[in-house]
Amino acid sequence: MRKTNKKSFSDLVLENKQALLKDQEAIERIETKLEQKHSMKLAK
């Protein structure tokens, strides 16, 4: 039986974060979503 090389959750989060930092378009989409959520909460 081979040992599977599983990554910890924090490793995956770090990888994801690095990828997002390189992807400016994704950052802008996320910021827009957050702004929309925030403005919805303020409107209530």
Domain ranges within the chain, ordered by starting residue = 16-43
* pLDDT confidence tier of residue 36, bands split at 50, 70 and 90: very high
- What pLDDT, on the 0 to 100 scale, is given for residue 1? 57
Contact between 20 and 26 under an 8 Å Cβ cutoff? The reply is: yes
The pLDDT tens digits of the residues spanning 1-35 come to 566 678 899 999 999 888 888 888 888 998 999 99
- What pLDDT, on the 0 to 100 scale, is given for residue 22? 85
Distance (Å, whole) CA 44 – CA 35? 15
